[in-house]
Amino acid sequence: MSNIGIIILATNSYFVLGIRFIKRFMHYYKGDKNITFYFFSDVNPKPYLQDTVDVEYHHEEHTNWVEATNSKFKDIISLENCKSDYLYYFDADTNISRDFTEEWFLNDLVGGEHYGNRDWLKNGAGFDRTPTSKAYVPLDSPLPYTYHYGAFFGGKKDRVIDFCKTLREWQIEDNKIPYEPGCNDESYINTYFHFNPPYTVPTEKFAFDISDKGGIGDTRYPTLDVEDLKRQLLENKDVLFNIQNNKIIIL
């Protein structure tokens, strides 16, 4: 039986959304694989989850959102020797509302078609065009354009680790200029996938809800107060819930 690792980066206010994701993932998951969550956060998730959830806590702190989103490649590389056969990254503010199995995302190297790919991001509109950057994609690229999420990617562990090592090297090189791509880590992801096409999950087959922040406020603000929500999560660790309009909704 394959072991699937799910990576969540959930520092500061994203912690409560990361807990929501894990609980709803386990509730709606109907597959037969062993699931391990690798949780990178400034708060230990274990007191907020049932003992049956296999979660590995990795302490991580961030002073701002850019620092957080740019840390994902480094954090994933640290899992090179983990027990999982597959690794998948999901943004902490991803939500799940229906039954699913792993069939929709299981493959060697996987990306997700961005919901704007057929609209405002079509024909390469979202790609980085700065020639000095490692994220650069030339306007005259002969390859077809597909814009992928930064909020989701994964695949077989070795493929994902190699992918993240390359992107981390690109980040380091761009920091020397210095240069920060307009879409941060997502820019590097799209450059890599442009020249090394993954299996792409089309929008209509993407089973989860991207960027559902539950109305808790500006989650990019590092001091956003979610202490009351955390208290409610502790009180309801054994039940399924959602976060809507900055409130815990017991289901």
Cα(34)–Cα(25) distance, integer angstroms:
13
β-strand 55-59 against 86-90: which pairing, if any?
Answer: unpaired
What is the mean pLDDT of the segment spanning 3-21? Answer: 97
pLDDT of residue 100: 98
* Burial grade of 245 (CB within 10 A; 0-12, 13-18, 19 or more): exposed
pLDDT of residue 251: 87
pLDDT digits (tens, 9 = 90+) for 188-210: 999 999 999 999 999 999 999 99
Q: What is the DSSP letter of 100?
A: B
| Residue 175, pLDDT above cutoff 90 | yes
By the 8 A CB rule, do 111 and 151 touch?
A: no
By the 8 A CB rule, do 151 and 185 touch?
A: no
Q: What is the DSSP letter of 46?
A: G
β-strand 34-41 against 3-9: which pairing, if any?
Answer: parallel
pLDDT of residue 173: 98
The pair of three-digit structure tokens given for residue 17, joined into one six-digit string: 């959304």
The pair of three-digit structure tokens given for residue 117, joined into one six-digit string: 């790919």
CB within 8 Å of 220: residues ≥ 6 apart: 64, 65
What is the mean pLDDT of the segment spanning 126-146? Answer: 97
pLDDT digits (tens, 9 = 90+) for 70-122: 999 999 999 999 999 999 999 999 999 999 999 999 999 999 999 999 999 99
Closest CA to 4 of 36, 52, 40: 36
What is the mean pLDDT of the segment spanning 5-26? Answer: 98
Mean pLDDT, the chain, rounded, equals 96
Residue 196's identity, in one-letter code, is N
Give backbone dihedrals phi and psi of 60, rounded to 5 degrees, phi first. -150, 140
pLDDT of residue 165: 98
CA-based torsion, 7, 50, 231, 97: positive or negative: positive
pLDDT of residue 235: 94
| Residue 222, pLDDT above cutoff 90 | no
| Residue 1, pLDDT above cutoff 80 | no
H-only helix segments in 29-64: none
> What is the gyration radius of the CA atoms in the chain, in angstroms?
18
pLDDT of residue 108: 98
What is the mean pLDDT of the segment spanning 142-147? Answer: 97
Torsion of CA 35, 41, 44, 50, to 10 degrees: -30
Residue 12's identity, in one-letter code, is N
